[in-house]
Structure 1
Amino acid sequence: MKQVDLFLAFFRVGMLGYGGGPSSIPLVHKEVVERYKWMNEDDFADVLALGNTLPGPIATKMAGYIGYRVAGIIGMMNAVFATITPTIILMIILLTSLSSFKNLPWVSGMTKAVVPVVGVMLATLTWDFFKKSRNTLGIRNACLIVGASFVLLEVFHFHPAILIGALLLFALVRKDKTRKGNENVEKGGGL
């Protein structure tokens, strides 16, 4: 049953994730965290951050990791296959037929109408992540990281993977220093 659930979850993501990786992230979240509860919010955020640092399409990376975590190697292959199957089918069927109708106004309008919907889905997911980070980091640190990230991405055109990698490295170093400080306090030493 787990394999069937994995296939259905990622097949839905593949079918409804119109617009590529960014539009599929909220769909993966809905399936994995809310519907099947294979992960909690923290785990999903970690998978998303790690997936963004690696090359390749985010939907297949997330499907591979989540499938492996839920049902091992077979689960990984199942989830990746379920994610890419709709794309393969739709590319063959839709692109061949849409290319002959691409100049019609309703086709152009349909493709343009999807952009705001994807924007709203991403904004909702962003707001959820901000609320979570506000609770764990505090409002000041969360706003500082959001502001600095925005400036680095939009003004200085940093690649998102570099920024995410730097933040992950900072978190690891800081966690290690915090752990060493706590060990010193427990042994009777000072910070």
Structure 2
Amino acid sequence: MLKDLFIAFFRAGMLGYGGGLSAIPLMQREVVERYKWMDDDEFSNILALANTLPGPINTKMAGYIGWRLKGFFGMLISIIATVVPTAILIILLLTALHTYKDKPWVHGMSKGVLPIAGVMIGVLAWDFFRKSKINLGWGMAIFYTGISVIVIELMGLHPAIVIVALILYALLFPSREEREKDKRVNQEGDS
């Protein structure tokens, strides 16, 4: 499995051009769809947690996923596989861009990457939104999305504060389904 961890995060690191956020959909595809190490809900939870911590998001996620799957060596392999290709690509790409910085095709390439990264992040966000409908229903999913947009964009509150607030709300006020699930687990444990 260490080899698979390295391949998965190396591939996401090599193809995730445009920053850490652009590697997340690629990481999700590797971890959830290709290798099936976790489901979308677990991946979403890791993504939310990683967003609250400082530092590069894809490195934090790779390290945590590697740790969960194979302990210390899994974490080490996952972080190396995420960081090394990025470092190599940055050195090569920046050298090439600096050499040809005055060429029109370099300007066009730089401008073309931003919309592609935006679309990849948008597709991931839409996928999470669709899945939240299953757990919350359309009404609550739209409500939480709207409130989040208002609080983050219009009020200028940092997204980590919103995520922590929602996590605390979920812990302090669990849904009826969660309370019933906990009740069933406690009853099974008593018998």
Judge same fold: TM > 0.5, yes or no. Answer: yes
Look up the equivalent residue of 2:91 and give its one-letter code.
I
Deviation per CA, 1:59-78, whole angstroms, max 9, x where unpaired? 00000011111111101000
SS of corresponding position for 2:173: helix
Deviation at 1:93, TM superposition (A): 2.0
SS of corresponding position for 2:174: helix
CA distance in 2, matches of 1:102, 1:145: 44
SS of corresponding position for 1:168: helix
Look up the equivalent residue of 2:155 and give its one-letter code.
F
Alignment of 1:31-180 (within 5 A): 31-175=30-174, 179=179
Deviation at 1:91, TM superposition (A): 2.1
After alignment, is 42-51 or 109-118 more displaced? 109-118
Aligned to 1:6: 5
SS of corresponding position for 2:83: helix
SS of corresponding position for 1:37: coil
Deviation per CA, 1:143-189, whole angstroms, max 9, x where unpaired? 10000001111111111111111111111111289639x86xx9xxx
CA distance in 2, matches of 1:141, 1:97: 48
Deviation per CA, 1:104-139, whole angstroms, max 9, x where unpaired? 110111111111111111111111111111111111
Aligned to 2:24: 25
CA distance in 2, matches of 1:43, 1:18: 24
Gaps of 5+ in 2: 187-191
CA distance in 1, matches of 2:133, 2:175: 22
Aligned length: 183
Aligned to 1:189: none
CA distance in 1, matches of 2:9, 2:22: 13
After alignment, is 91-100 or 123-132 more displaced? 91-100
State the identity as a percent.
54
Alignment CA distance shift 1:55-1:74 (3 Å): same
Aligned to 2:189: none
CA distance in 2, matches of 1:12, 1:6: 10
SS of corresponding position for 1:175: coil
Look up the equivalent residue of 1:152 and give its one-letter code.
V
Normalization by structure 1: what TM-score?
0.90
CA RMSD after TM alignment: 2.0
Normalization by structure 2: what TM-score?
0.90
CA distance in 2, matches of 1:129, 1:176: 19
Gaps of 5+ in 1: 187-191
SS of corresponding position for 2:157: coil
CA distance in 2, matches of 1:101, 1:166: 47
